[in-house]
Amino acid sequence: ALLLAVSGATPPEHGALIVILAGGKGTRMPASEQHLPKSLVEVAGKPILEHQLEFLRGQGFRNIRLALGHRADQVIAWLREKRFRDVGYVVEEEPRGTGGGIRHAALDERKPFLALNGDIIADFDVRAALRASGGGAYAVMTGVELRDVSGMGVIECDEHKRVCRFREKGAEQIGGLINAGLYVLRPEDLRAMPDAFSIEYDLFPRMASNGSFVLHEHTGSYWFDCGTPERLAQVRDYFAYTHDRRA
């Protein structure tokens, strides 16, 4: 594996649920990838989803559940073929938005749990993100600092790392802190929402306004959003270069 090898002993298993949002249609993917659900688009010889599953398992997380929708049958067949039979999944019969998809997948959950966007490849410290929740006192957004945030929404925090607001996407090429796509969520926050909703536009501003949302900053070696043709090309170039240097 190019990015999923974990140095040292395998950490003890952690029982927290992780929901991966793997139901996206991938409408912004290159035409050559449109026959696949976005989570099965390959980077460095394996699907994005496989990178995520191997990385999470390497950190001791095995209670993983996929929120599926578009082309769910392909993802389910892939799980069986690759012997990821212990990975759970819930299939949406109709679109519920990112928030509705997460809530649907975690209906039986009573403790804080993690959610991960299905188009992110990063070396997150997942346990550190969980610790940032203070045992469930706060919901957590993982953020990453970028030199150029043009075309991206920016997170604004106070001195205590409480998320205060989100600045809309702008065209200026400046640095800033953006949503990295890994969250710690509390079931009670989701129960207050309608059946279909967006975590980004409906839930997150609500939690930020009541002071219950805190930032955990990702400080690992890499973070990639694979959600557009340009970004997908960047992550493929990165791992091709990494592989060449290791060869």
Known catalytic residues? 169
Q: What are phi and psi of 237, to 5 degrees?
A: -60, -40
C-alpha span between 145 and 101 (Å, rounded): 27
Residue 29 DSSP one-character state: S
- Cα–Cα dist 56/13, whole Å: 10
**Tokens 């980004």 — which residue?**
200
State phi, psi for 236 to the nearest 5 degrees.
Answer: -65, -40
Find, among 146, 123, 136, 152, the residue nearest to 7 by Cα: 123
Backbone angles phi, psi at 30, to 5 degrees: -60, 155
- Token look-up 């073929």 returns 81
**Cβ partners under 8 Å of residue 123, min gap 6:** 3, 55, 220, 221, 222, 223
8 A C-beta contact, residue 2 and residue 239: yes
